Structures are given as structure tokens and as C-alpha cells.
Amino acid sequence: MTGDRWDPSWEERADLVVIGSGVAGLTAARAASRRGLRVLILSKGGPGDTATQYAQGGIAVVAPQGDSVDSHVADTLAAGGGLCDPGAVRSIVEAGPDAVAALTDLGAVFDLGRDGRISRTREGGHSTRRIIHAGGDATGAEVQRALSAAGLPVLFGTAVLEVVTAAGEVQGVVAVSGRGLGYVHAPAVLLATGGLGQLYALSTNPSGATADGVALALWAGAAVADLEFVQFHPTVLYSPGGAGRQPLISEAVRGEGAVLVDSRGVSVTAGVHPRGDLAPRDVVSRAIAARMRELSEDHVYLDARSVADFPRRFPTITASCRAAGIDPRRDLVPVAPAAHYQCGGVVTDLHGRTGVPGLYAAGEVARTGLHGANRLASNSLLEGLVMGERAGLAALERLGEPARVTGWSTGSRPALPRGPVQQTMTEHASVVRDGSGLAQAAHTLATTAAQVAGERLSADGPAYRRRADLVAWFEDAALTVTARAMLVAAAARTESRGCHTRADHPVPVANPARPIVVGADATGIPEVVSEGAGPDAVGDTSQRVAREAVAPHAAVDVAPLAAPS
């Protein structure tokens, strides 16, 4: 490696590169592999470093009795604040039972009720008990276990630094592992990188949730939408001075009867919403934030003392509480909102295609139109299963396309330190925002970015000879560009809708709600590129671009795979 020239230490070839090893990535990899594609999964962390692993609540899927697709769709649309794509919602919800059946056939074990049937609970925003769960409150861990057992090839400890394109089409990726810098030549790349929780000082996300997929997509020329809608989980275990990933207290705890109270024992949500403590998450988070401001306190409490057999039903939460010196059977549990889920992301159609030929996205990183302005609880694992399968199969259309990574140059991507970015975003772009704060945050990041814009990452630089340093630089760059993209979108949305709350614009504007689409300009700076006329405008645009991109190829059968016998 000399100067700005980065020579690879290793090279691989694949038909499909999957970036991320959570529910969406593993499901996609399995679907593509079963159809004969050479699949290589690249995971920045270890086997358990995924948001899937930490998912507690469960999977929202239509129950066989007392429920319907129409009901699940209606609940999702209600939570989404007018920004869901109704067609996408129905498509994904309808596919849920088959996706869960395939997961069960892989060996996933869900909790059973006394009648021997799969047990179901209720969470915020749902009109009935349709959430299936495993291990009490360890559903994500069971999903991760079942999918990992398929034995797909994964390179752990391998961070993707860039999705390489030529003539507007994907050629592969540049990555770094313990072997050094590497090139993977592939005509198809799937982003399944999860969320962006590390934009904030407190989050339920793992430390690697640094918005990698959003950044990679923007740098590759794809668009993102609805990025201003960051869901803050209302009930995250509060610890004085805590920072980084914090244990969440699943919404299912409230579904089993726990209630939110302040330090005086007064209900936090009474009179705020007809469903009270089981209102959609944005409603509950705002109610908690308002009560904390009113009392000048930094947390409220969850009273779970009435929940029967709490340790058996919620063993993971019990362990987290006990580690903090709290017994939820006898003590009030201190909680506060923390960054949890990105509702928007990389714009895709209903097969995971982006506007860049060969680039796909699935799971939390993608914007399918399912979540709109606020994700309905436990729809995330559902989306990962359904859209992971579809994206993996859609990648078949790229089979045989030429692909070669010929080099890598980092250009002048600003990479601001994580700490200042988190401080700025936490202060000005959290549960409640306003125009002046967003403008101040944007100015702070832009000014600091300008100071480092001329710095090029040099292969001869002593600070970047180790993998850890190169990954740290990349994560800082990803957080920086994503923070700026989010601030652009949040400033443009001069209304309160879903989990985007503007104190200076406290009500939503008249319908139709409009998605805000953001891209990167020629210098890599995020900018608003369009504001759709309706909630499905982004999906329509993405599908048109995707159709044009794959028009020369033969039609691909993307019907769900049958479960293995």
C-alpha cells in the first residue's frame, strides 16, 4: 500500500455478497444459496453482534383465530401515521404466516400455551394478541440460532468499506478483515446492516449499529427516505450516567399488565391515548419525555409487580434488572426512552431492489413502506423474514453479470468522531426536536466536516495500518453522513408525524403525507432530492427504476421457497 493506492491482501468471488448476519441477511443468503447462487456473508462483528440477537418482544404475525390480515394491516397503517405504503403493508403481512412456518421448519421453537398451541401476546398498537415469542423474552436469540444453524458461509470480523460500482452497476465490495484489505468481486450486493442507533448516546442497538448500510447506499448512488423517523423505545432500563447500548424492557411487559408511573406514582399515559400504556411507541415516548420535562427528572418507572411469574415469562429482562440491583417483582423499574429503530432507510421495491442495479437492501436498513412514520411493535422481525427471502431470490436476476473491483480510493469523506456526533444528535434530534436545534446541529456537523474534508485516508498513514483503526474511521464516516442526511430530512419535515416530533410544528400537515427522499450530491453531501406526493410515491419511483435496471434480464421466479422436508 502506497499513498492513496490501496492494494488488496485478499480477494474472493461470489454471485451475491450479503452484508450483515441478522435475520434479513441470513434469510436472504439461505434463499439465494438454495437456488444455486454462490453466497458470501460478511459480518462486521461476531456471531451474536446483531440487533436480531437482542430482539425481545417477538414476531407480529396474523393469528389463526380471532385475527385477520385486514386487522394487522389496519393496526400497521394506524401506527404509521399516514406514511405507510398500503400495498407494501398488505404484501408483507400476508406473507408472514408462511415466513414463520419456514422458520419453524428450520428448527425455531416458539413458546406454547397450556393448550399446546403457540402462545401469543399483545404489544403497543396491536388490537389483539398476535405476537409470538420464544424463550419468554428471547425471540431474537432463537431466530438468530435457527438461521445460523443453516451453516451458511460467514466471514466474521469483516467490515465492508464501500460498495463498488462501474457504469452505474454493482461490481462488488471493498472490505477489511484480520487478513487486511480485501476485494470481493460480485454482481449483486445485499445491504442487511441493521440500524443507526449509535447516532445517539443511548440506544438499544449493539455498538456496531453505525448506519453502515445507509452510508454505503448513499455513496453508491442510491436514495434513502423517511430517515427522520427514528423510533425511541419508551422503556429502556435507566442507569445514572449510562451510555452506549442499554437493556430494553420489552413492550410485552406492558402487554402482560405492567403500568408506567412517575416518581409520584401517577400514570404517565392516562388521558394521552385510548390504549394508554399500550399506545404506539411514539405516543408513549412523547408522554414519558413530557413528564420528565415537567418534573425535571431523567426517568420514570415501570410498575410490573402485578405481572404473574415475572422471572419465568421474562428471564432476560429479569437478569438485566438484577444486574442493576432491581427485583421487578418487588421494585419499580426505572426506564427512559432510547434510540431503538430506524423506520426509514434505503429505498427499495417489494423485492429489495434499490435504484442501483445489483444493489439490494432488506431488514431495518431498508425503506419498503411497511413502517411509515412509526413502526408497529414486532413488525421488524416479520419484515426481515419476508423481505430477506424476497431480496435473496431477486438477486438471481444478476447471475452471470460481469463484475470486477479494480481499485479503491476513499476520496474525502468526512469522518467526525463518534462522541461529538452522538452528543449533537442527542441534544438536537432526539424524541422532540425544533427548527433552531436542527439548524444548529446541521451547522455544527457541516462546519466540523469542512475542517476535515480535505484529509484523505492514506494507506501509508500510521493510524490506519490496523483493521480496528480502519473500521473506526469507516464507522465515523458512516455516522457523519447519515447524521447529516437525517438532519436534512428532519428540517424539511415541518410538522409532527409519527416518531418525528417538532416542538415548533406540533401537528401534522393536511394529508396526503409526503415521504422525503434524500440522496448525496456530487461531493457526497446529503440533500433532499424529492418530496413524494403520497406515501407510496417513493415505492413507485423505486420500482420503476428497478424495473428499468433489470429489464434486459429474463424474468425471475421470486415465489417463496417451499419449506424443506
Active site residues per annotation: 281
Partners of 166 in the beta sheet?
169
Q: Name the nearest CA neighbour of 360 among 253, 220, 228.
A: 220
The torsion defined by the Cα of 450, 451, 452 and 454, in degrees rounded to 10, comes to: 80
Q: Which one-letter amino acid corresponds to residue 250?
A: S
Q: Could you tell me whether strands 16-19 and 39-43 are parallel, antiparallel, or unpaired per DSSP bridges? A: parallel
Number of Cβ within 10 Å of residue 303's Cβ equals: 17
List the grid coordinates of 236.
429502556
Q: What is the 3-state secondary structure (H, E, C) of 100-156?
A: HHHHHHCCCCCCECCCCCECEECCCCCCCCCEECCCCCCHHHHHHHHHHCCCCCEEE
| DSSP bridge partners of 497 | 500
The three grid cell numbers given for residue 311, joined into one nine-digit string: 422471572
Strand order in the sheet with 169-177: 10-13, 180-185, 169-177, 159-166
Q: How far apart are CA 187 and CA 194, in angstroms?
A: 22
HEC readout, 445-474: HHHHHHHHCCCCCCCCCHHHCCHHHHHHHH
Please tell me the number of Cα atoms within 13 Å of 552 on its side-chain side: 6
Q: Do the beta carbons of residue 328 and residue 305 sit within 8 Å? A: yes
Angle separating helix axes 139-148 and 23-34, nearest 10 degrees: 30
